[in-house]
Homo-oligomer: A and B are copies of this chain.
Amino acid sequence: MRGLADSQVAIVGLGLMGGSLAGALRGHCRTVVGVARRAATIDMALAHGLIDQGTTGLASGVRGADVVVLATPVRVIVRQLAEIGPLLSQGCLVMDLGSTKRRIVAEMARLPDHVQPLGGHPMCGKEVSGVEAADPAIYQGRTFILTPLPRTSEEALALGQALVEAVGAHSLVLEPERQDYLVATLSHLPYLLACALIGTADATTSADPAAWQIVAGGFRDTSRVAGSDVAMMVDILLTNRDEVLKALGTYQAKLEDLARLVEAHDEDQMRTVLSAIREERLRMFP
C-alpha cells in the first residue's frame, strides 16, 4: 500500500463534500481524479483547481486509483460499492463520506478481498450544495469519523487517518452502530426540527408580510439546516430510520414536557428547568 503522497486518489461525486475534499487533498497526494455525472461539474472543479483531472466515467475514474473516496448520497454509495469492486487495483483503500454507516459498512464487507474498506463521516457541512459551494477549508479542525471493518488492515486505517489529517481534520474511530446512534440525535434530528419549524412558520405567519421583517437571528439559526441538500437527507433518513425515529420520539417527549411547563404557568419550575438546559448548552459549547 502506497503512502498518501504517492497515491492517486479518486473522488467520486464532486458536490460540496467531495469537491471540498478534492481541493483539500491536492498537493498531499500524487494526483486527484474527480468523477462526476455531468461534464460541467468536472469543468468547474478543474477551473476551481479542485482536481488534477476528471471524468464522467465511474469505471475509468477509479481504475488505477490507490484510494477511492465515494462522496455521493448514502444509497448511491451502496450502489457504487457493488459496481466498482471488480475494477479496483490490488490494495486499493475504499472510503466514503456518507452520514450513516451501518448500511455502507455492510456493503463494504462484500467488496473483493484484494481491496481495503474503511467507512468515513466528516462532521462538517453547509446548507449549500454543489461543486460551486466547495471549500477546501471546511474540514479544518473538524472531527472525521472512521468506521473500520474487521477486515480493514492497520495499514489501511493509518492511510485513512493520514488522509483525514491532510485535510486538517482529526479522526475518531467508532463502531458503525454507535456512530449511527449518535448522529441520529446530533445531526439528523436537528434537520427534522428545522424542517418542522419552517413548516410551522409557513402555516402560521408566512401570510403576514410583517413576518419577513421581524424574523431574526434566532429563527434563522434554528432553521438553517432545513436548507440541506434533499437527496443527501432522504438517503440519510432512509438508511438510519430506526435511530432517527428513536431520537425523534425522545425529542417529542421533551417538547411535550416543555409544553406542559408553559401551560402550568409555574414560574419556579420553569426557571429550574430552563436554567438546567441553559447550563447544559454552555457545557456543550463553552
Contacts and interface: CB of A to CB of B under 8 A. Distances in A.
A215 B262 contact: no
Nearest to A190: B222
Given A186-B216, A190-B218, A199 B262 contact: no
A199 B123 contact: no
Nearest to A275: B230
Interface string A101-138: 00000000000000000000001111100000000000
Contact of A228 (B212, B230, B278): B278
A214 B274 contact: no
Contacts of A124: 216-217
B250 A204 contact: yes
A44 interface: no
Contact of A200 (B185, B191, B200, B222): B185
A77 to B, nearest CB: 16
Nearest to A199: B254
Contacts of A259: 192, 245, 248-249, 252
A226 B281 contact: yes
Q: Which secondary structure characterizes the binding site on chain A?
A: helix
B210 A200 contact: no
A172 to B, nearest CB: 5
A191 to B, nearest CB: 7
Contact of A214 (B143, B237, B249, B263): B143
**Copies of the chain in the assembly:** 2
Contacts of A226: 277-278, 281
Interface in A231-245: 231, 233-234, 237-238, 241, 244-245
A244 B261 CA distance: 12
Contact of A274 (B193, B234, B244, B270): B234
Interface string A265-276: 101001100110
Contacts of A142: 216
Contact of A210 (B182, B187, B206, B251): B182
Interface string A191-223: 111111111111111101011111111111111
A206 B277 CA distance: 13
